[in-house]
Structure 1
Amino acid sequence: MTQTARHWINGTWIEEGEAATTVDVYRGADHAAFLMGGAGTAEEAIDAARRTFDRTPWPHAPRLRAKTLLELADAIAARRDEIAREIAVENGKVLAHCLHETDAAISEARYYAGLARSIFGRVSEIDEGKQSIFAREPIGVAAIIVPWNAPSTLLLRSLGPALAAGCTVVIKGAHQTSGVNRIFAECLSACPSLPAGVANIVHGDLEVSQVLCTHPEVDVVSFTGSSATGKKIMAGAAPTLKRLSLELGGKAPALVFADADLDTATAEIVRGSIPHAGQMCTAITRVLVEESLWDAFTGRLVDALGAVAVGDPMDGSVQMGPLFDLQGADRYRTAVDAARQAGSTLLDGEVRDGHPRGNVVTPALFEIADNSHRLVQEELFCPLVLAERFNDEEAAVASANATRYGLAASVHTSDHGRARRVARALKAGTVWINCHNRLFAEAETGGFRESGLGRLHGLEGLDDFLETKHIYAEFGRLPGG
């Protein structure tokens, strides 16, 4: 058992709440101890963040903010391997992907350190002697609610722009990954330039989240999770008209045209469908294949998905770890049974026997013709991929856009003009061409429709944490020349 994860509020470690433990997702044993905070803990953290925002120079000190973010990047880098191992144990993602995720978090911190010193407003001369200044100012206190499936990079992609903008924050990570959250709290506490109260971390469950989403002193909520939970957050935030940054569910399609490079398309679709056993909002869940290519491509895809090694996420030879919990395994079984009834089985999925938790599963691939079926319309969050046929560009786009989700998609073709046409027609916040799941600190991501509000990463990642203030003055006619 590792050190108990405590709350970090106003620069002080707080021991408050009942003790609980996280679980080793693959082995099923208790793993990391933490203190389960409640409403009072959340309110204490919000009060600290509000006082710090209102009474210290932090919102007006961009060089201090940049320095702090660089210190945070260095602190994370110093514990990179430890963080990655902790993620692999607590959420089941294979270690190589956990290392990549932690590197992405470091990149986020360094990227927003640079932007902290590059937040500019504008000036406009409305008429002679009449001038408007449009200043960009931090919005205030930000609540950051982070899920269990990527606790490192999903924290930093909100925390980075929030701190760069000049906000103070209260972080509530998933209690299931409290061991990871503890290390990030320690990384923040190790930043000598970070003033007390700027960043606060509370461990807890729904009770803490509810306070963060309804408290009048929280100005913006940045949340990553399901669309259903995002809607509840919107309802809770409505009475105080909080700004919301929501990255929600996805149902990412990959469109494969007859002129695609089959080796590349196969490799990218396998790579894009199995990360974290499909428990990733941008993971490929639908493969739309041109009719003339159907037999050749689906045969390749069946072989490639069938060869995926599953098991212990700490084993370097394993390509896909377990599902997060037993509920996920039950959801997978239900989806596979429904897919067998709704369409043709191309690659049957299974829950592997002889495993202590019953959550190690194999990739599955089913053909389905009805894109109104619930398997197409609902986010499944497991490695079950649906294959669909199309005859032309128009049919492919119509089918790809036939859900209420619009987070990500990919287009596979050797025709550059077609790739651009189809990408523009897809209702998705990110469209990759001949690849999938390429994410960078510099490149905005976000959803259309029920996949969310706002953008994360990139320059626009700052927008949810900034307000524009208009300052107007009349100073008379200028002296003559």
Structure 2
Amino acid sequence: MSLTYPEALNYIGAEWIGGEPAADSLNPANGSILGSYRPGSGGLADQAVAVAREAFDRTGWSSSPRQRAAALYELADRLEAAKDELADLIVAENGKLKREAVGEMIGAISETRYYAGLARTVLGRTLETAPGNFSMMNREAAGVTAIIVPWNAPVTLLVRSLGPALAAGCTVVIKPAPQTPLIHALVMRCIHECPSLPKGVVNSVNENGIEVGEALVASDDVDVISFTGSSATGKRIMAGAAPTLKRLSLELGGKAPAVIFDDADLDQAVRELTGASLMMAGQICVAATRFLVAKPLEKEFTARIKAAFEAVQTGPGADPASQMGSLIDRPSQARVAGLIEQAADEGELILKGGAPGGALAAGSFLTPTLFRIDDIRSSLVQEELFGPIVSIETFEDEQEAVAKANATRYGLAASVFTRDLNRATRISRAIRAGTVWLNCHGRLFAEGETGGYRQSGLGRLHGVEGLNDFLETKHVYLEAGAV
């Protein structure tokens, strides 16, 4: 089969470089070959780090905020020019809906422009501790950053680390996900076209395993790791980074509860939670994965959310009639299918999803699953399932609602549905999560910080605080008259 897209190469020092023998990239909606990419190696990762270190140490990049702002504005313009092409490629290589892909591009462009603005306002502070004794707290770039990007939102989740890293003055080595190399290669072509970006400031090494990632984590010359992915992989990164005491920015797994009280607007709750749980076929860390329902509301809510799930049309992302796209690949489809069988054994299946037949049989599709469960110790409640499968649990009162919302080791996101503003305030404060949405779910934007409590991660991305993981604070002390 002829390849539709150019081969995705590695990018080091503003040059395109080959690597290991080519591997195919597949369309998860039909299994067809979209193109190929050249995986990197530990040696190429070391080469990219050395180039990034040279650019950080020997160019004026880290001390040139206006240049950094210009480069980020240029990148935003190039992403906007390539928006339609990138959105189509996201649909083809990732499997999500066209509207989801367009939304991803809009978010990535917004994020890039946001950090372009912040690049010129990285502020320190000065204080006089005694007459003539001045302390200057300078904010400086942390150094070389390795960004490890997941496949589920390969543009947005790259930009939300790349934007603040570049705005802070860091240089970067990127490891893209092996499931979405063609998308990443097109983003790298946009980066390559930015005239204000010096050679070596942004580099990228493809992966088809763990060799590249392990090299970046172990490298003495990498100062920061920014990783988005599972909590299990985050723990391995943390252990691998310990010998060099790297700074870590980790956005990890989630198990977001949606707490629905008996005074909630049911129309709004069902509408919001259908989209929030099935967006990207449930393959998003902030997806609503547990519906915690007040007992008096259980019967009506269950009937209405089941009907909403049943009405969702699963199909290729490019089809305007589709309301949920495919999973990322066949192994993910098989894994979630196994979870559906487990849910039948441990709980009560309200709506059993499965692989559709006919024209969709060649793709990695599953229809939505909804199940009721009482045992919060079950792995179905405790583990991130990452697919279109959602549990219903019940509670008697606010205390039990909070206890169940906090019953997992995760704390990335949650939502609360109630007409009572005082209750909404109480519950949102009591839930241990980095983001709590009130009467909605899944609102993400450049200006608002996101991140996790507990085993959902370290640090924050988006917003002003998104710069913090890529900056160091240096105290410079001066006694007037002593110099």
Same topology, TM > 0.5: yes
Does residue 250 of the first structure (1) align with residue 244 of the second (2)?
no
Post-superposition CA distance 1:364-396 (Å, at most 9, x none): 111111111110001111111100111111110
Corresponding residue for residue 222 of structure 2 = 218
Q: Which residue of 2 aligns with 1:319?
A: 323
Distance in 2, Cα, partners of 1:365 & 1:86: 31
Select 1:24's aligned residue among 23, 27, 40.
Answer: 27
Q: 2:188 aligns with which of 166, 174, 185?
A: 185
| Residue identity in the other structure for 2:431 | L
CA contact (8 A) 1:93 1:313 kept: yes
1:383 matched to which residue of 2? Answer: 388
Q: Distance in 2 between matches of 1:116 and 1:221?
A: 20
- Bigger CA drift: 349-358 or 449-458? 349-358
**Structure-2 residue corresponding to 1:286:** 290
Q: Say yes or no: does 1:332 pair with 2:336.
A: yes
Aligned counterpart for 1:161 among listed residues 159, 164, 182? 164
Larger mean Cα displacement after TM superposition, 420-429 or 348-357: 348-357
Q: Unaligned stretches of 5+ in structure 1?
A: none
2:309 counterpart of 1:266? no
Query: Normalising by structure 2, what TM-score?
Result: 0.97
Query: Per-residue displacement from partner, 1:168-188 (whole Å, max 9, x unpaired)?
Result: 000111021111011011000
- In the alignment, what sits opposite 1:303? 307
CA contact (8 A) 1:28 1:356 kept: no
2:237 to 222, 233, 257: 233
Letter in 2 for 1:314: A
The correspondence for 2:130, drawn from 127, 132, 143, is 127
> Among residues 132, 140, 144, which one is paired with 2:147 in the alignment?
144
**Aligned equivalent of 2:207:** 204
CA deviations on 1:63-97 (whole Å, 9 max, x unpaired) are 00000000000000000011111111111111110
**TM, length-normalised to structure 1:** 0.98
Question: How many angstroms apart in 1 are the aligned matches of 2:98 and 2:289?
Answer: 23
What's the offset of the Cα at 1:359?
2.2
For the residue of structure 2 that corresponds to 1:176, the secondary structure is coil
Higher mean alpha-carbon deviation, 201-210 vs 277-286, is at 201-210
- Cα distance between partner residues in 2 of 1:458 and 1:371: 34
- Which 4+ stretches in 1 moved above 4 angstroms? none
SS class of match (2:102): helix
**Structure 2 match to 1:3:** 6
1:446 aligns with 2:478: no
Output one character per residue of 1:188-242: Cα deviation in whole Å (capped at 9) or x when no partner: 0110111000111111231111111110000000000000000000011000000
Deviations 1:294-321 (A, max 9, x none): 1111111000011000011111110111
Contact 1:329 1:358 survives alignment (8 Å)? no
State the Cα distance separating 1:356 from its structure 2 match: 4.0
Deviation of 1:16 (Å) = 2.8
Q: Is the 8 A contact 2:229 2:251 kept in 1?
A: yes
Matched residue of 1:174: which SS? coil
1:361 maps to 2:366: yes
> 1:357 offset after TM fit, Å?
3.4
Give the conservation status (yes or no) of the 8 Å contact 1:249–1:450: yes
What is the aligned-residue RMSD (CA, Å)? 1.0
Alpha-carbon distance in structure 1 between the residues aligned to 2:106 and 2:335:
31
What runs of 5+ residues in structure 2 fail to find an aligned partner? none
Give the share of equivalent positions with the same residue, in percent: 54
Alignment counterpart, residue 104 of structure 2, candidates 101, 104, 116: 101
Q: Which deviates the most, 318-327 or 468-477?
A: 468-477
Q: What is the total number of aligned residue pairs between the two structures? A: 477
- Work out the CA distance in 2 between the residues paired with 1:79 and 1:215: 34
State the Cα distance separating 1:353 from its structure 2 match.
2.1
